[in-house]
Structure 1
């Protein structure tokens, strides 16, 4: 089956490294479907999860190959205070709604990765209270980063390992393709080293990506046996370097990412459910294309946070309800979207199409062949004959790239693309296919 709107590029379902070709559309379901902010004890299921189904064609048309779903399990409030990992949150529906979503996704060759937090649980957790970690020298339980409602699991217990193995396997059995493991950085890497091989014994092609915010990404992957971790370092360097007009920061982050790519492909992004939207994060709206050009032409497994492809704005605030602006409800179907943002959607679609035509980019390394504060040439390639050249200009004047592009052809541009491809307009960007002589 071919996915519409992405250059009619077929998904190679039997690829042993399917995750390298993945491009995720990340959705925070509780917000997307407009669920109430808190669960009501004893309330029956409301089948809101099905509101995602009309949007599957939107994701496929964008060129994405799967949904990276936020939490869908029974919880107290925001989904990361899980109380039952084996039950769909009643605010979203029930098992039948999940099965329907899996079936509809399969019809469109879309994979689904679930979001599970196994570092902590909600206070009303239905599992064994003996699995919770007691605070040293205190009667109460230990918590996650001081949040009273988030109680830490005791990862040293074999019973906790068994529980997590059973949860992961249960939903993989029901059709999920992998897991995003929330707050993985707070879990001892050795815990995952014990858990994941047991899950992979039954699901060898499942993909596991952990949320790791900073630190030794490659070291954590090696110790934990995770397939990937979230690339927050590149996320920060992308918008920060554009705002400061200091592309040296981006170059530094790309150099560090090259070392990671020797052993794994990180999960890359310019927006997610925990951060200010990229359209609001950037000081200069002319630089949105630069951020996307970097995301889709460097190594890693890219994801697009729902609404970013429409240019939505939203600022995360450190207060109660401070995530609401970045986790909005969406209309019943894409047909209900306003015209505003269509140009941003079209840009995403073009760049995702480019990425789909060059799936080797997931493991490609980036060599910064030219660099000043405001201009850069990024050559991302693998082997001697496959490379893209991304040219970035943050200056107020046109810039002629000094790199030899005699054998390069223009693939995408933030402008009309007319004229000399080596001349990038003020605040412009270009992507060239670099072919050897």
Structure 2
């Protein structure tokens, strides 16, 4: 059982947008100050364009640097106690990937003509994936995010991990899974974790629609998933519109961040979300560019407008650090209307209000202490219009 993951919070970077590996190394202190102790990297291996069209899994993309730059990044992360998660694109490869014909199904991945699907029934494909995982774990990585894991037979992952884990028992493996029976996928694949898209969707849509019943239902399903594996929770990633753009009302950004920091799971914060970056994903060529931007050379060059959101992340991650039981904590809706909800996790209760009027929550102990709030006041049971509060007692 990988124990370090219980305390992991990832800062997720898309390197081909952000910049070279040596530039990323210069931002590690920024990530640590935020409260993260993990660096989740998007694709870093030689590819044709966006990184998910790999041509060589054993070579660093020259646009990002070389193997020496990778080693230096790992060393810099180690000095700061930061784990490193790599992105393994093993379902499909770019057209320039050199391999015998029997390695491929003959089809394209989800209609993308530039992505050739690998045939996971072929022993040679399994051998290749095992070699790649082992190579970079030996070189210093701490785990793998497995891209498009949902498109691969879970038995393939089980076979691969069965060969990798004996040599790397402390490594962590999370599969990109969007729909389906999360618990069954975890059981059948041997993966440690999956990407919690269901909760991600419930967070932004419940805030937009004024429908906390959807959120409460998703949190029940989230709790039921925990015995099968600790899911990766997130508000954004390289494939979706940024949360600051997804929310109809900017006043609700704090609600979403508070949720991410107080529910069970392994949080992943997509670079720029901690600065309230905006960006819309579009289904067209180049439609991901807006959500995969370059970062400046130093934090001091960021706009001052984003720092309050950074500080809010920093504060709420601090609350999570001081309450480690949140990692596996079951969140229960103790009071629920369309536009107001009280969510209890252990000794903490998060109060959310998305109505145009202040809301008084019933059954709040007079001795309740307000840890954080969008609009601090004297009455812990009273939450401002479009406000939130985090209580303990």
TM-score under structure 1 length normalisation: 0.88
Do residues 392 (structure 1) and 349 (structure 2) align?
Answer: no
**SS of residue matched to 1:197:** helix
- Give, in whole Å, the separation in 2 of the partners of 1:16 and 1:230: 17
Structure 1 segment 159-178 matched on structure 2, within 5 A: 159-178=124-143
Cα shift readout 1:213-240 (whole Å, capped 9, x = no counterpart): 1111111000001000000011111000
Q: 1:418 aligns with which of 377, 380, 386?
A: 377
Q: 1:98 aligns with which of 63, 66, 70?
A: 70
Q: 1:239 aligns with which of 201, 204, 219?
A: 204
**SS of residue matched to 2:305:** coil
Q: CA RMSD in A?
A: 1.1
- Give, in whole Å, the separation in 2 of the partners of 1:235 and 1:78: 24
Q: 1:122 — aligned with what? A: 94
- Give, in whole Å, the separation in 2 of the partners of 1:157 and 1:408: 60
**SS of residue matched to 1:86:** strand
Q: 2:7 — aligned with what? A: 21
Contact 2:2 2:171 in 1 (8 A): no
**SS of residue matched to 1:142:** strand
- Give, in whole Å, the separation in 2 of the partners of 1:212 and 1:167: 21
**SS of residue matched to 1:114:** strand
Q: 1:356 — aligned with what? A: 321
Structure 1 segment 10-159 matched on structure 2, within 5 A: 16-33=2-19, 48-133=20-105, 141-159=106-124
Cα shift readout 1:382-412 (whole Å, capped 9, x = no counterpart): xxxxx21110011111111113324532211
Q: 1:8 — aligned with what? A: none
Contact 1:66 1:110 in 2 (8 A): yes
Contact 1:131 1:160 in 2 (8 A): yes
- Give, in whole Å, the separation in 1 of the partners of 2:13 and 2:300: 18
Contact 2:212 2:340 in 1 (8 A): yes
Structure 1 residue ranges, 4+ long, deviating more than 4 angstroms after superposition:
none
Contact 1:369 1:403 in 2 (8 A): no
Deviation (angstroms), 1:142: 1.2
Structure 1 segment 357-372 matched on structure 2, within 5 A: 357-372=322-337
- Give, in whole Å, the separation in 2 of the partners of 1:243 and 1:325: 22
Q: 2:161 — aligned with what? A: 196
TM-score under structure 2 length normalisation: 0.98
Deviation (angstroms), 1:414: 1.2
Contact 2:2 2:172 in 1 (8 A): no
- Give, in whole Å, the separation in 1 of the partners of 2:23 and 2:103: 35
Deviation (angstroms), 1:130: 2.6
Cα shift readout 1:232-290 (whole Å, capped 9, x = no counterpart): 01111100010111111111110110110122111000111100001101110000000
Q: 1:275 aligns with which of 213, 230, 240?
A: 240
- Give, in whole Å, the separation in 1 of the partners of 2:370 and 2:67: 48
Contact 2:175 2:194 in 1 (8 A): yes
Do residues 433 (structure 1) and 392 (structure 2) align?
Answer: yes
Contact 1:82 1:117 in 2 (8 A): yes
- Give, in whole Å, the separation in 1 of the partners of 2:127 and 2:392: 49
Tell me the number of residue pairs that the alignment of Structure 1 and Structure 2 aligns: 393
